[in-house]
Structure 1
Amino acid sequence: MPSPNRPTGERRPRALVIDHAWRRLGAGLKTLSGPDGAPLTRTVKLIVLPLIVRPTLRPELAADFLGPAEAARLDALVQESRTRLEATAQWFTLLKKARRALGVVAGNPQDLYFQRCFELATEHGAPPADADAVARVVVKEMADAIGGRTVEALKDCLADTDRYARLDAELAAAWKRRQPVADAAAAVALAAEVLEACGAPEPDSSAYARMVEAGHGVLFGRALREPTSGVWGREELPAHLGLTTGPVPSRPQVGRGASTATLPAPLDRTLFERLFVVLQSSARREELPTVTELVGREVGRSCAPLGLHDESLRVTVVLGGRLAAGLDPLGSGNSSAGSTVAHRAVNSRWQREASVLRARRMTVSAHPDRDGGALEALAQDLRTPWVAYMRRLWVRLHGRDVHGAPLGDLASAWALLDGVARSVMMDHRARVRSALRALSATAGEAIERRSA
């Protein structure tokens, strides 16, 4: 019997079913949609899946690919939610207005308010006459719940000269206490066995459990402290797969600032940069420790193997590395590392992407890229897919580590590994579309100039 997580002639990707159902809802959802009318990624992640589809209660809708009956059921659920979603969009507009009026700047409004707006829509429907007052109360309550767990509070914490010096000394001491370098061969070998079990409706977690119990994540993290090659069966791939830009990670610094646009590789980030990402992206910020506690815990975590405390999360880095080493979006067939069930599932999905097909043609074309390099840069990303994959995977695992959310079985680990692959693919698709739109606009301007 074919797996529900694999495509067939009858099954359709769940993401595509959601996209089509959303577009049929019509106007009134602008604040929850992207420029092309598709639901925002956060809309799907925070509203559609957990609050409308509810796959934990409807396991038949939890698979990546749905049969005709399941696809029809999901479509019906989205259509039935039209009125509530329209009210959600209206409430979100009001909460953003109240946020500006109150001078609240911390956090991403979508992360903070999407689910709360859906609750308000469920309770009140469309915003009533006193909705402005309700919105102000909600924004204040949520700001109070965050309780200083903000980037501004982090800056204030590290602005103290004595605390800064003490943290720097603690980092130096923790770095010196690291254990000796270990051999990662066993961890990488067992990772292939684990990835072979992925994709089944109920994957066997025994090999995954053995990796966690044997501390293979720790062993692999310790192995990265010396330059190594050939770990993944490909000499040209560094063992760290882009988690650091140097041959090996260096001792973390405290830091005083961060910018989303210029964040370094994960294992090269300062204490400030690591926590900056957590505070910027966390949808459950009220569940975090205070900023002072966060900083204290991050000292030990940043010096731990792979920059993580929990062993199940470190093992997932190893699995992700084994998966990333065999990613082959362009279908070159050059990698012998991509031979497991997990690799075949991810690679086949990527190789069907129209943007990937365009990039594949570019790599074999005798003509240079005439667009100033934009599409060539995107094609290069597909030649080195492990960099974006490992960077995004580590960030998600770090967030789970800070929140104390381990991955208890292989099904959970695979859901995250596969989800990261989908996220990277969708991000690449969006960047290709953006580049093509820019090229089209440039070409149109050139035609207009020639016609003038």
Structure 2
Amino acid sequence: MPSPSQPSTGERRPRAMVIDTAWRGLGPGPQALSGPGGAPLTRTVKLILLPLIVRPALRPELAADFLDAREAEQLDALIRESAAVLEATARWFTLLKKTRRALGIVAGNPQDLYFQRCFELATEHGAPGPGADTVARAVLEDVVDASGGRTVEALREHLADAARRARLDAELAAAWDGREAVPAAADTGLAAEVLEACGAAGADAPAFDAMVRAGHGSLLGRALWAAHPADVWDRADIPPHLGLTAHRVPPRPEVGRSASTATLPAPFDRTLFERLFTVLQASTHREQLPTVPELVRREVGRSCAPLGLYDESLRVTVVLGGRLAVGLDPLGTGTSVAGSTAAHRVVNGRWQREASVLRARRMTVSPRPDPDGGVLNALAQDLRTPWAAYMRRLWVRLHGRDVRDAALPDAASAWGVLDGVARSVMMDHRARVRTALRTLSAAAEPASEPRSA
């Protein structure tokens, strides 16, 4: 019998949609884990629902992007059966945030740091009860101790010393002057071969190993230092650096003293502080990172290395990502000759089925002016240049792996990152469209008129 919160259709449904529908059926209990529209937060799905409730590793039938009716009912049931523990998790999270403010703790993202801890507390204790304040304080102190001083505040204090800053600036200048530039990048034909194999499920891609051995990532990075290599992506309308810098060639990194998530520059244009700021902000297991002085020491060399990365497998993944990015075609225009591999067909097919993309596609061909003053048109414009958001997010993810010495050993692992970034960008765009539509809908509702006597 179909689940009461899921439609009884025989069609395969996106797993994300099943999760969204089941979550909304829980009511207001887990509100602290939800967004303004009532859907689960992205981190709720990533840190709680998938790893702790759905557990795709143990239930591989629920790991797919699209589920049949039986699998959708199973997933829905898992979430509904967890209603009590999810509500308790939300209440613990609210308490931890309140205690965090009282203790004056500002380091890190509370969702990243506490979501899984709150789920553990909910599983062990249920909802917060007598003595919960003491437990919350102990958890917060444990998280702070586990970070081992690997915080943005510690980074800021480390780089505040004038003598240290002068020494780091001299080291950056020496490393930058010691670079070796080459006039042209390596042929990206092997990248297309890898993407063709990756897009075909289970296919091997020995060309990935060949690219790593030949240093194709390093060649591209050095070519970007020399000058813009012409037509490296077979797209004259896209800059060879793919928006990873706002300059003709990447500038020499500076030390920096501050950073803001809302105003971070392009990856190659970031200061030492900004590069490490993103790593510390995003890390959920900071104890696995080097200490702040060691992070800074390594980042001096890394920021002056080809593509801003040390590991060659990660650099090659930038090349693969660039080849994939220039062939992204969410609007289905068919104008890109680069999007001809199996990987492109997988990613573009998924994107073109998005309802938000279909709305944007209609806007691109509509002769009528944008009625909302440009909000939706700006979102549609993002789909005309999808490579920009894709490459920025890909580089950040690879940089985080490089800091943790987490290389990509084969094509399959590289494809996992490439495809994961594509999904992340798509879901982010979907959320922005939904937010814009909710805002426009609320603004269009007429004010309720008072009843006449």
Query: With structure 2 as the length reference, what TM-score do the two structures score?
Result: 0.92
CA distance in 1, matches of 2:75, 2:447: 45
Percent of aligned positions that are identical:
74
Does residue 118 of structure 1 match 2:119?
yes
CA distance in 2, matches of 1:329, 1:149: 39
- The corresponding residue for 2:378 is 377
User: What secondary structure, in the 3-state scheme, does the structure 2 residue paired with 1:422 have?
Assistant: helix
**Counterpart amino acid of residue 43 in structure 1:** T
> Where in structure 2 are there 5+ consecutive unaligned residues?
1-9
The CA deviation string for residues 367-406 of structure 1, in whole angstroms up to 9 with x for no partner, is: 3324322222212111111111111111111111112222
Q: Which moved more, 1:381-390 or 1:285-294?
A: 285-294
Does residue 216 of structure 1 match 2:216?
yes
CA distance in 2, matches of 1:168, 1:440: 51
Does residue 321 of structure 1 match 2:322?
yes
Conserved in 1, the CA contact under 8 Å of 2:251 and 2:269? yes
Q: Which moved more, 1:320-329 or 1:277-286?
A: 277-286
- The corresponding residue for 1:202 is 202
**Counterpart amino acid of residue 125 in structure 1:** G
The CA deviation string for residues 274-309 of structure 1, in whole angstroms up to 9 with x for no partner, is: 111111121112221221111111001101111111
**Counterpart amino acid of residue 114 in structure 2:** Y
User: What secondary structure, in the 3-state scheme, does the structure 2 residue paired with 1:229 have?
Assistant: coil
The CA deviation string for residues 213-262 of structure 1, in whole angstroms up to 9 with x for no partner, is: 22221122112121123111111111111001111111111111111111
Tell me how many residue pairs correspond in the alignment. Answer: 439
Conserved in 1, the CA contact under 8 Å of 2:109 and 2:282? yes
Q: Structure 2 matches for 1:1-400, cutoff 5 A?
A: 10-181=11-182, 183-186=184-187, 188-225=188-225, 226-400=227-401
Change (3 A) 1:182 1:441: same
Conserved in 2, the CA contact under 8 Å of 1:313 and 1:407? yes
**Counterpart amino acid of residue 155 in structure 2:** L
**Counterpart amino acid of residue 124 in structure 2:** E
Conserved in 1, the CA contact under 8 Å of 2:172 and 2:300? yes
**Counterpart amino acid of residue 207 in structure 1:** A
Q: CA deviation at 1:182?
A: 5.7
Conserved in 1, the CA contact under 8 Å of 2:243 and 2:388? yes
CA distance in 2, matches of 1:293, 1:232: 36
CA distance in 1, matches of 2:365, 2:100: 51
- The corresponding residue for 1:3 is none
User: What secondary structure, in the 3-state scheme, does the structure 1 residue paired with 2:423 have?
Assistant: helix
Q: Structure 2 matches for 1:399-410, cutoff 5 A?
A: 399-410=400-411
CA distance in 2, matches of 1:404, 1:67: 39
Conserved in 1, the CA contact under 8 Å of 2:244 and 2:268? yes
**Counterpart amino acid of residue 431 in structure 1:** R
Conserved in 2, the CA contact under 8 Å of 1:182 and 1:220? no
Conserved in 2, the CA contact under 8 Å of 1:330 and 1:383? yes
Q: CA deviation at 1:409?
A: 2.5
Conserved in 2, the CA contact under 8 Å of 1:164 and 1:254? yes
CA distance in 1, matches of 2:145, 2:340: 50
CA distance in 1, matches of 2:153, 2:337: 47
Q: Which moved more, 1:166-175 or 1:149-158?
A: 149-158
> Where in structure 1 are there 5+ consecutive unaligned residues?
1-8
- The corresponding residue for 2:440 is 439
Q: CA deviation at 1:447?
A: 10
Q: CA deviation at 1:32?
A: 1.0
- Superposed CA RMSD in Å reads 1.9
Q: Which moved more, 1:14-23 or 1:134-143?
A: 14-23
CA distance in 2, matches of 1:265, 1:400: 18
Q: CA deviation at 1:366?
A: 2.2
CA distance in 2, matches of 1:96, 1:436: 30
Q: Which moved more, 1:215-224 or 1:157-166?
A: 215-224
Conserved in 2, the CA contact under 8 Å of 1:230 and 1:236? no
**Counterpart amino acid of residue 49 in structure 2:** V
Conserved in 1, the CA contact under 8 Å of 2:185 and 2:229? no
- The corresponding residue for 1:4 is none
The CA deviation string for residues 135-159 of structure 1, in whole angstroms up to 9 with x for no partner, is: 1111111112112222121111111
**Counterpart amino acid of residue 166 in structure 2:** A
CA distance in 2, matches of 1:286, 1:178: 32
Conserved in 2, the CA contact under 8 Å of 1:266 and 1:394? yes
Q: CA deviation at 1:201?
A: 4.0
Q: Which moved more, 1:389-398 or 1:345-354?
A: 345-354
Conserved in 2, the CA contact under 8 Å of 1:229 and 1:237? no
The CA deviation string for residues 113-166 of structure 1, in whole angstroms up to 9 with x for no partner, is: 001111112222222311111011111111121122221211111111111011
**Counterpart amino acid of residue 417 in structure 1:** L
**Counterpart amino acid of residue 315 in structure 2:** R
**Counterpart amino acid of residue 196 in structure 2:** E
Q: CA deviation at 1:184?
A: 2.7
The CA deviation string for residues 319-370 of structure 1, in whole angstroms up to 9 with x for no partner, is: 1111110011111111011111111111122222222222222222223324
Conserved in 2, the CA contact under 8 Å of 1:182 and 1:219? no
**Counterpart amino acid of residue 259 in structure 1:** S
Query: With structure 1 as the length reference, what TM-score do the two structures score?
Result: 0.92
CA distance in 1, matches of 2:394, 2:58: 27
Change (3 A) 1:216 1:92: same
CA distance in 2, matches of 1:273, 1:185: 30
CA distance in 2, matches of 1:317, 1:30: 38
CA distance in 2, matches of 1:11, 1:359: 24
CA distance in 2, matches of 1:50, 1:182: 46
The CA deviation string for residues 427-449 of structure 1, in whole angstroms up to 9 with x for no partner, is: 2222222223333344446998x
